[in-house]
Each structure stands twice: as structure tokens, then as C-alpha cells.
Homo-oligomer: A and B are copies of this chain.
């Protein structure tokens, strides 16, 4: 400070400027490699680097050498359990996407094998997902009627799967995984709940045995379609559907109560399929209007590279469908993987997961599989069955393979209504009303996002819901950025601590000093707002002091602790505030500017402009300096001039 009258105990350090390319490098690293994936590669010989690099992209190579027979026993049991779920779910979800049921089975064979090699989750069970299936129908069905032109429809679905995989892999390779983070938890809860609701509504077709049904997915169209055909309702399917639904719901209810019963819950869909098929076979219900699956082709996945319709006039639609379903699948899959990784305390690499998802969908699209991800229901069963590694996926794929080779004829008499019951039962678990209630209790805005997404999906369409949810989420981010908090600080009695006077009513104002904490980094998007808000704080404080007749305002301290960074608009804001504060005869002080902020303020000459002696390490030291000047000033007005005169000498 160089001032004999007042010695500031600490100085704010200005870190030396880093060379441009070094700071660019570290900035890019923090942005795109926050998890530092290459850390183990450091200081290793080239051969080890190669092995570690291979292991990075194919995690199977990493854990396979350590794989034990104990692990295999656990994975075998888990794999068979999820296979019993995968077969009926595969058929059901494929029919939800209006694809041939066999494609649902194909999709539970190749993608799990790819994921087992490349995925980093130990608990994720791979397969088709309900919401993406419905989305495929919604988006492709608008352009091509799956009943009138089934071949083209399948081709477009495969093409969409290919582009979904391409996008997912690109996200992972370009390390753009953070894009998925912009789908907030609240958005996903609302969107999934809405999608589950309309998936259930679609099942009314199967439950009521209707032949004609609306192509719309919104509540109004479905209700109109259902109630305009009251005379076509079939009591046979209705009774069958309701009893299976009751059976499945009952089992789910008990398995939730008692953890050890989860086996029965996992096996229930397969049991329903077997029971339903036997029932139809012996009662010949298929001749009384109960629709059945019919003939399923035997044999493994045929190659489908030549089916990818890159030259089709509907390519745009296929790409759009791929992009949207790919992102949705990714968001759900990564979230599911993270949830279970947390339970077992291991890390999942989001970008690696994306590459794995992408590769499995690209491989899938070439082998007659449609879009797959990590469905929550199947993964939960896998986890509960005690899986140890992704080998459970290999076991499941093998079981599905055996089914494809030898058991498809057994599904000939499976009634569609049972599949509807299975879908409804799975979907009811996705309507997470408890999470919505929790959101209402904790954060009203998050609840609004959630409920808007839900309403958009149920009353509009899946796309409308998605657009609304993403828009609100983005607007929220922009609003967050545009409207940071400014807080008045006061002194906690008998300490050097300064805290929000709102939060700590005991914190007392310092006479003649206004202390403001700026609550966020200062960027172009909030610089104008902050300038207005800070000046309003000063106005209000001056008015308050005037009306109460207390001492007038002399100093304004800005606590910069929370200002992590700043851009040129933010610096202009400081220059403007300084001018306004000077014009009122007040003095501006800064407390605790961070490394990046002080560097930029120095580069832009703002520090020289305001005088480095007005920058303090803590609010407490700034207040001490203010008090010193205020009191010395009263007894000896020369001192403050001497202090101010430093401005010229710096």
C-alpha cells in the first residue's frame, strides 16, 4: 500500500499471464476432458500406451483378464433372468413401433454383444426402449404408413437407427456429452411420464380388441377413437387384458414390498406370455377375435446394410427421427447407467458410453435391429439379479439367439393383448409421480418444467412436449445467466465475517459502507442487469440513510468472491459503475477478485484506473480500511486526500 497511516495486512495477488496457447490448451482440456481420461497414459512406454488406449475404447479387454468363475455364475443367473424379460419386451416394443415383432427379438441379440465389448457400465441391460419405439412410429408413421408400405417403413426405421448411432458415436468422439446434460432431470421425469401415459393410451387398442385406431397420440384423438367405436369393443380381449394387467401389477406390488420376490416380477412377463399362449391354443380364442402374433420367421438376424435407405426421398425424416430418438435413448441410457454405478460406487465415462451406444446402433442397423438403449426396467432386473459385469448381456444375447433359432414357433398363439398388458405394466412404473411431488416441494420452477413437458406430450404430441421441455430448460438457463443475484452483506457481530443480511438477521450494516456480493460470473448477458441492479442498491441505500437521518453513504464494496470469470462486457460494466459511483462522490472498493477476474481487470487497465489500493483480499479488510479513512477523515481531513492522491501516482 505504501501508505504510512494505514497498512493493509494482505494484498490481492495478480497471477502472471499465461502464454496464450498454454491457457487455450488448459481451457480446452477443462471443457472437453474434465475427467482427464489420458491420466493413466502419462509417463508410460509406448506398448503400455497402446494397450491402455485399446482398453480405453474396448473396456472388455480391461476386465476380461480378471474375470472369474464366481463372476460368471452371477452373470449367468442375471443373464437368463433378463432374457426372460427381453423376449416378451422385444416383441411388445417392436409392435409399439409398428415394426414386425421379430425385429424386436433381433434387437436383443446383436446390440447387447457390442455393448458388452465397449460399454463401461456393469449393470446396463441393452434392448429396445418403449419411448423411442413410440417416437419412431410417431415420426416415421406420419410419412409412411407401416401397414400399407411395410418394407419402406422398416428400411426407414433401420436408417433412422443408423443415424442415431452415428450421432451418438459422434457425440462421444467429439466429447460433446454435455449436450445431453441440458435435458434436465425435471425435463426427463415429465417427458418420460408423458410418453409412458400415451404409450398406455395406445394399448387401449389391444386391450379393447379394436382393429381401427387413430394415428394420433394425444389424449383427445385416442379418446375420440375409443369412444366412437364402443360397439366394436370385444369383451374377450378386455377380460384377458385386464386379468393379466391385474396379475402383473399385483406381482410388481409385492416384489416392491419384499426384495426377494423380484424374481417373480422379472419372470412375470414371460409367464404371462406362456399362460396367454396356452390359453389361446386350447380355447381357439384366435377365432373369436383375439388377435395373436402369428408366424415368426426362424433364424438369426439377416444382414441389412443394403436396406439402409440413403437415397430415399424420406431421408430427411429418417435423419430427424434418428437424431431425436438417439438423443432420448442416450439421455435415458446414460442416466440409468449412472444410477446403478452410483449404487456400486464405480465411475461411468459418459463419452465412452456414448461411443458404445453409437457403435451398437450402427452395428444394429446393419443387422436388422432397430434403435436400442439401456431400458430402466431391464437394467433394474439385471442389477437385482446380481449381475457382476456386462457378461450378463452376452448370456441374454445367447438366450435370445436360442429363441430365434428354435423357439419362435412357440409364439404363434401369443395373444397381442398380453403384450399390451406387459407394456402397460412396464410403463406404469415410468410415471414417476413421486418425483414430481418432490420437485414441487423443492423447486417450483423445476416442477413447472416437468409438468409442461408432461402436458405437452399428453395433450399435444411427443415432439411438442419435447420442444416445450427443451425450450423451457434453455430459457431457464438463459434467465439464470441473465439475472444473477446481488446480496447486501452485513457484519456478523464479534467477527470479521460478512454475510447476507437476509439470511443472517444478526448481521449488521456498517455505517457509511454498502457491501454487495455479486452472485455469478459477469458476462455480456448479465452485465447490463448487474449495472442497473447495483446502482439501484446504491440509490435505495442513499434514500434509506437520508430518510433515517443517519450518516450518509461513503463507500461501496463489491465482494467478488462469487465472480468466477468475466468478459469484456463485464469489464465495461465495472468502468461504468466506477464512473457513476465517482459522480456521486462515493468510492468503489473491490474485495477478493479471483485469479481470472483480476488478470483481466489488469489487462484492461481498470486496476490502474481505480487504483490498486482499493482492492482488498477480504471484505473485512476492506471495511477496516473504510472505517480507518472515515474516522481519520473526521479528525484529520488531509489523510483521505493523501489516500486518494495515490490514484495519480500508481
Counting chain B CB atoms within 10 Å of each CB, the highest count among A480, A525, A598 belongs to A525
**How far apart are A359's CB and chain B's nearest CB, in angstroms?**
22
A30 to B565, CA, bound (A): 23
Instruction: Name the interface residues of A548-605: CB closer than 8 Å to any CB of B.
Output: 561-565, 567-569, 571-572, 576, 579-580, 583, 592, 594-596, 598, 600, 603-604
Partner of A525, one of B186, B477, B482: B477
A523 CB contacts on chain B under 8 angstroms: 184, 476-477, 480
A530 to B483, CA, bound (A): 22
**Interface bracket on A:** 35 or more
Complex contact A345–B579 (CB within 8 A): yes
A178 CB contacts on chain B under 8 angstroms: 482-483, 525, 528-529
Complex contact B604–A442 (CB within 8 A): yes
Complex contact B497–A618 (CB within 8 A): yes
**How far apart are A26's CB and chain B's nearest CB, in angstroms?**
11
Instruction: Name the interface residues of A493-551: CB closer than 8 Å to any CB of B.
Output: 495-497, 499-500, 502-505, 519-521, 523-529, 532-533, 535-536
Judge if A485 is at the interface, Cβ distance under 8 Å.
yes
Given contact pairs A36-B536, A564-B519, A181 touches B529 in the complex (Cβ within 8 A)? yes
A526 CB contacts on chain B under 8 angstroms: 181
Counting chain B CB atoms within 10 Å of each CB, the highest count among A181, A350, A497, A583 belongs to A181
Judge if A15 is at the interface, Cβ distance under 8 Å.
yes
A347 CB contacts on chain B under 8 angstroms: 535
A562 to B350, CA, bound (A): 27
Given contact pairs A181-B528, A595-B503, A617-B497, A483 touches B567 in the complex (Cβ within 8 A)? no
Chain A window 459-500, contacts with chain B (Cβ cutoff 8 Å), 1 for yes, 0 for no? 000000000000001001111111111010000100111011
A15 to B342, CA, bound (A): 32
Complex contact B524–A184 (CB within 8 A): yes
Complex contact B600–A442 (CB within 8 A): yes
Chain A window 24-36, contacts with chain B (Cβ cutoff 8 Å), 1 for yes, 0 for no? 1000001100111
A483 CB contacts on chain B under 8 angstroms: 30-31, 34, 178
B-contacting 9-mer, from A58-66, A214-222, A380-388, A443-451: A443-451
**How far apart are A25's CB and chain B's nearest CB, in angstroms?**
12
Chain A window 363-375, contacts with chain B (Cβ cutoff 8 Å), 1 for yes, 0 for no? 0000000000000
Chain A window 615-650, contacts with chain B (Cβ cutoff 8 Å), 1 for yes, 0 for no? 001100000000000000000000000000000000
**How far apart are A345's CB and chain B's nearest CB, in angstroms?**
4
A523 to B342, CA, bound (A): 19
Given contact pairs A36-B536, A481-B477, A20 touches B444 in the complex (Cβ within 8 A)? yes
A263 CB contacts on chain B under 8 angstroms: none
Nearest B-chain residue to A474, judged by Cβ: B478
Given contact pairs A562-B561, A576-B342, A568 touches B446 in the complex (Cβ within 8 A)? yes
Partner of A524, one of B13, B185, B520, B592: B185
A502 to B18, CA, bound (A): 12
Given contact pairs A562-B564, A565-B485, A600-B443, A186 touches B524 in the complex (Cβ within 8 A)? yes
Nearest B-chain residue to A441, judged by Cβ: B603
Judge if A288 is at the interface, Cβ distance under 8 Å.
no
A536 to B20, CA, bound (A): 25
A287 CB contacts on chain B under 8 angstroms: none
Nearest B-chain residue to A482, judged by Cβ: B178
Judge if A258 is at the interface, Cβ distance under 8 Å.
no
Complex contact A579–B342 (CB within 8 A): yes
A503 CB contacts on chain B under 8 angstroms: 13, 15, 594-595, 598
A281 to B564, CA, bound (A): 65
A576 CB contacts on chain B under 8 angstroms: 342
A523 to B476, CA, bound (A): 10
A268 CB contacts on chain B under 8 angstroms: none
Judge if A182 is at the interface, Cβ distance under 8 Å.
yes
Complex contact B524–A181 (CB within 8 A): yes
Complex contact A532–B34 (CB within 8 A): yes
A412 CB contacts on chain B under 8 angstroms: none
Judge if A439 is at the interface, Cβ distance under 8 Å.
yes
Judge if A22 is at the interface, Cβ distance under 8 Å.
no
A445 CB contacts on chain B under 8 angstroms: 567
A-B CB proximity, top 7 nearest: A184-B524, A519-B564, A562-B562, A503-B595, A345-B583, A185-B569, A485-B564
Interchain residue pairs with CB less than 8 A apart (27): A13-B504, A15-B502, A30-B483, A34-B529, A178-B482, A178-B528, A181-B524, A181-B527, A184-B523, A184-B567, A185-B568, A185-B569, A338-B528, A342-B576, A438-B568, A438-B604, A442-B568, A442-B603, A443-B567, A477-B478, A477-B523, A480-B565, A499-B617, A502-B595, A503-B598, A520-B520, A562-B564
